[in-house]
Amino acid sequence: MRRVLVCEDSRVYAAALRTTLEYDGDIEVAAVCSTATEALAALPRIRPDLVTMNLELPGMDGLTAVEEIMNSTPLPILVLSSHVGTGSKKTAAALAAGALDAIAKDDLDLRDPASPAGAVFRRRVKMLSRARVIRHLRPAHKAGAGPSYNARRASVIGICVSTGGPQVLARLLAALPADYPIPILIVQHIGAGFTEGLAHWLDQTVRLPVAIARAGLRACPGAWIAPEGAHLKLATNGQLSLDRRTIVGHHRPSGDALLGSIATVAGRTGVAVVLTGMGADGAVGAVAVQGCGGLAIAQDEASSAVYGMPKVAADLGVEIVLPPAGIASCLLALRHEPFPVPR
């Protein structure tokens, strides 16, 4: 039995959410709180496995509540947001503060708890309720610890990240200077409608420029996030391409599609990073980068909210496994080398 605390100021929505969550009998809504203050006070008594959090609440807003929970008694948080697109910057901030996932309320149909969509939602809640949550990242590795990468040259960095990722992604990008010269291409699995808001929030939060990737743009300094519904790939001329047709695994955008293109185009100057997330996306692509002489890194288990994607990468042969602080140190140590020019 998984225990859920619902923080929602709409009684009608909260009642429908409770009915949907409890439909199979293996999830109990242990409390419904109409304010964030009430929810924070109830946590020590309820001790839920997961909190669903509406960000727009009377008094203390949901973002502040997420920050308070993750700083005091960290536990899995699922954001249910009314804001998508560019208006979802608050959702992105909540994910960066430690919330594991976000779902747009418009995408969550609570009218029929017995529907396939209802079953998928409950499976998602149960999976998230078992995830590891993190209060503090590990300190950086000491100089000289682990494999040597200080002399490496890199023309492009590809990052694949999923559940629990925005927080780690924000920390990594925040560690880089505004003039970091190596282009960073990112696949972030996130709920529909939130990618644009995440990019806007990161661009305002970190020193490095962050934007949604555009087809035809030459890979240049900054962080470029794959748009929703399109694979982000690196073309042989060093430009970015978007593929909205090809099916690669269960995701579009796909980390394997991105990292596979980096292996092909950049070869030994390519870098692949696989961060926290459920499933296996990015693992095969990271191994491909390593097989071409490039650098491949997987996040370690202790710092991963969900040790799925990086575990598969390590199991397949990715040799460097680091906490986020170690990954940031590695990226800072790389020396920029322009893309190989095709003959």
101 is catalytic: no
297 neighbors 327 (Cβ within 8 angstroms): yes
**Structure token pair of residue 150:** 């200080």
CA distance linking residue 49 with residue 160, whole number of Å: 27
Torsion of CA 81, 207, 229, 52, to 10 degrees: -20
CA distance linking residue 130 with residue 328, whole number of Å: 27
231 is catalytic: no
**202 SS3 class:** helix
Closest CA to 246 of 231, 258, 261, 256: 231
Using the structure block, give the residue that is written with the tokens 């994607």.
309
Q: Of the listed 101, 203, 256, 281, which one is catalytic?
A: 281
CA distance linking residue 314 with residue 305, whole number of Å: 16
Q: How many helices (H) and strands (E) does the chain have?
A: 11, 16
Q: Of the listed 189, 200, 231, 251, which one is catalytic?
A: 189
Q: Of the listed 162, 261, 303, 304, which one is catalytic?
A: 162
189 is catalytic: yes
Tell me whether strands 2-7 and 50-54 are parallel, antiparallel or unpaired: parallel
298 neighbors 318 (Cβ within 8 angstroms): yes
CA distance linking residue 87 with residue 93, whole number of Å: 12
Using the structure block, give the residue that is written with the tokens 């990722």.
165
Active site residues: 162, 189, 281
